[in-house]
Amino acid sequence: MAIRSFWKMWTEAKSEEKALRVFERVRRNLGREALDRSVEPYPKITGFVVAFWIELESQAWNDSVVEVIALGQRVGYQWTLSGDILADTDGWSNESSVSGVRSIQWMLDRRWTTPGIEP
């Protein structure tokens, strides 16, 4: 079973259409297909939050942690890592290398390797 990472990006785009354009730039930089994408208004910054899943190529947990960190480096820098590195790892950056992204986050949880368990 593949391990999946859950991503969220916050943008100050003024419309859903513009938020999706920003998302597409992020997706291209990641170099992966995005699964189950959703877009919702985010009033706190008068913008939108886009959430999506990325399926990782690695099968082992340790390799998946390194892979998701490397993917994060394609779209941001100055990442803050938190959580339990062995079971529930999280990365957050307010320094995206993609224009239009205010903040970006990835999450990796061992429980998501079990079908039907999602955040």
User: pLDDT tens, 40-69?
Assistant: 999 998 999 999 999 999 989 999 999 999
Tell me if 119 is assigned to some domain.
no
- Its domain, for residue 52, covers 4-113
Other CB atoms within 10 A of residue 61 CB: 15
- What is the rounded CA–CA span in Å between residue 2 and residue 112? 9
Phi, psi dihedral angles at 89 (to 5 degrees): -105, 145
Tell me if 28 is assigned to some domain.
yes
Say what the pLDDT of residue 114 is. 46
CATH number of the domain within which 94 lies? 3.30.70
Least confident range from 42-51, 64-73, 97-106, 110-119: namely 110-119
Instruction: For Cα atoms 56, 94, 50, give the angle at the middle one, nearest 5 degrees.
Output: 55
Tell me if 16 is assigned to some domain.
yes
Say what the pLDDT of residue 117 is. 45
- Total domains in the fold of the chain: 1
**What is the arithmetic mean of pLDDT over 64-89?**
95
Structure tokens at 13: 């785009």
**What is the arithmetic mean of pLDDT over 3-22?**
96
Tell me if 118 is assigned to some domain.
no
